[in-house]
Structure 1
Amino acid sequence: MTVLELAVQDVRGARIARSVGATRVELCAALGPTGGLTPSIGVIEAASEVGIAVHPLIRPRAGGFVFSPDEVWVMEHDVRAAVAGGASGIVVGALTEDNTIDTVVLRRIIGCVDRARVEVTVHRAMDVVADRLTALDELIDLGVTRVLTSGGADTCSEGLDEIGRMVEHAAGRIQIMAGGGITVDDIPAIAAVGVDAVHLSARKVVAGSGGPGGGSDGYDVTDAVVAQEAAAALRAVRLY
């Protein structure tokens, strides 16, 4: 059965996700401007009290996915803090200079958690990898729970054939979660290729100037209406 995961940035987003029947949330900060960064421990702790599985993104900066030793150290400590704060999963990713899975770094990060209690999702660093089927085998060997992917395309609709190939290659050994530019109308076709989960942010921008030192003139929040529509679209697919 295909489940729904929402990417949210605050406690309100986690509450909306729970109310519409999402299975879990990917919790992150600065999703719109950066693609997502590690949220604060306060947000992790508060969201974990909502009653939905919380999987924080562990990403220390924007940009590529090749991390320095200092950044890896930070990620390891963020993982431990997130789990201590109530997270039931983590969302991570790391690549080598030639855009293959950095199994050394991922093994270190995964080694920070009890795999019997904490799920591990590899994020869309996977979409930078050229040979995603080989990468899937490497992630399976590492004990990764699932991978988030658009099939290497800008959106899941454009990468649907590749997502289907990944589902077939995974053969139940690792979960394939589709994410990237998904709209409510896309959900039936994406679910039809057999993905284990559909991931979207259901975001809208709220106006609000931060002044000279406050950054942009607005901020993202979870749109409860879009979240409900996405959940309804997925439920409709399950009925057929």
Structure 2
Amino acid sequence: MVWYNDKRTLSKQTGENMLIREFCAENFTDIPRVVAAGVERIELCDNLAQGGTTPSYGVIKETADYLRDRKTTFATMIRPRGGDFVYHSIDVRIMETDILKAVEAGTNELVFGALTPDNNLDIDVLETLMVASQGLPVTFHMAFDAIPHHLQHSSLDTLVELGFDKILMHGDTLDKPINTTHIADLVNYASGRIQILAGGGVVAETAQEISKLTGSQYVHGTKIIA
């Protein structure tokens, strides 16, 4: 079997695209089950009712220990609270500390985002958090969907410049179906400079089709694997 590589998701032997499913896990409970079912990636968080917040140090460490000798990798959500993505100095200090503790606990990757009150990227906060990330791959989470569509190309360029590895997006507000056309436009524009994860309402039965429609090998959800 040829296992994927997060930086390059093409099979070196066959050249074929591989579907990479990211399971959104609320704490540790479902991780043994989805790993046994063959899931490729996990996004670890807490409090999904609020869209996901930072899990505890203990949960991160237990997950890292469990996955250490397995093929599944995991990213840890860094979000200090529910609500909006406009962060002030105390929020940022909390996020810096949580990043450092997540790295210490053994996370493979990180997930975070920050916006200004007018829904543009908060460059100052993002630069601060990227320094704390110590070079680990970072995904900008679904806060990206709040950025006006006409600004998303330039925002993607900025995230590439900042060193982000991936963007998680739904392509629209979560009360609407996943906007595969819009995501496909971003995938095409990114041209491999940054990976796009399609998420929000993606389930095991639709993952392959959404991957085809968007042109992204990455799909994300709480029901991404049966």
1:165 maps to which of 185, 193, 196: 185
Equivalences for 1:1-240 in 2 at 5 Å? 1-31=18-48, 33-51=49-67, 52-115=72-135, 118-130=136-148, 131-154=151-174, 157-192=177-212, 193-202=214-223, 227-228=225-226
**C-alpha contact 1:24 1:54 (8 A) present in aligned 2:** yes
Number of equivalences: 202
In structure 2, distance between residues paired with 1:111 and 1:22: 30
> Per-residue displacement from partner, 1:29-63 (whole Å, max 9, x unpaired)?
111x2111100000000011121322111000101
In structure 2, distance between residues paired with 1:133 and 1:188: 25
Deviation at 1:24, TM superposition (A): 1.7
In structure 2, distance between residues paired with 1:184 and 1:11: 20
**Which is further off, 75-84 or 176-185?**
176-185
In structure 2, distance between residues paired with 1:110 and 1:53: 20
In structure 2, distance between residues paired with 1:136 and 1:15: 34
Report the TM-score when normalising by structure 1: 0.80
For structure 1, which runs of at least 5 residues remain unmatched after alignment? 203-225, 229-240
* Secondary structure in structure 2 of the residue aligned to 1:12: coil
**C-alpha contact 2:199 2:220 (8 A) present in aligned 1:** yes
Deviation at 1:114, TM superposition (A): 2.4
| Alignment RMSD (CA, Å) | 1.5
* Secondary structure in structure 2 of the residue aligned to 1:49: helix
Runs of 4+ in 1 over 4 A off after TM superposition: none
In structure 2, distance between residues paired with 1:134 and 1:20: 38
Deviation at 1:162, TM superposition (A): 0.4
**Which is further off, 184-193 or 93-102?**
184-193
In structure 2, distance between residues paired with 1:156 and 1:91: 23
Q: Given the superposition, is the C-alpha separation of residues 155 and 18 from structure 1 closer, same or farther in structure 2, using an over 3 Å criterion? A: farther
> Per-residue displacement from partner, 1:53-108 (whole Å, max 9, x unpaired)?
22111000101000011000000000000010010111000001110111111111
Report the TM-score when normalising by structure 2: 0.85
Paired amino acid for 1:141: E
Q: Given the superposition, is the C-alpha separation of residues 134 and 155 from structure 1 closer, same or farther in structure 2, using an over 3 Å criterion? A: farther
Paired amino acid for 1:227: I
* Secondary structure in structure 2 of the residue aligned to 1:98: coil
Deviation at 1:4, TM superposition (A): 0.6
* Secondary structure in structure 1 of the residue aligned to 2:32: helix
Q: Given the superposition, is the C-alpha separation of residues 42 and 151 from structure 1 closer, same or farther in structure 2, using an over 3 Å criterion? A: same
Q: Given the superposition, is the C-alpha separation of residues 123 and 198 from structure 1 closer, same or farther in structure 2, using an over 3 Å criterion? A: same
Paired amino acid for 1:44: I
Deviation at 1:156, TM superposition (A): 7.9
In structure 2, distance between residues paired with 1:63 and 1:48: 28
For structure 2, which runs of at least 5 residues remain unmatched after alignment? 1-17
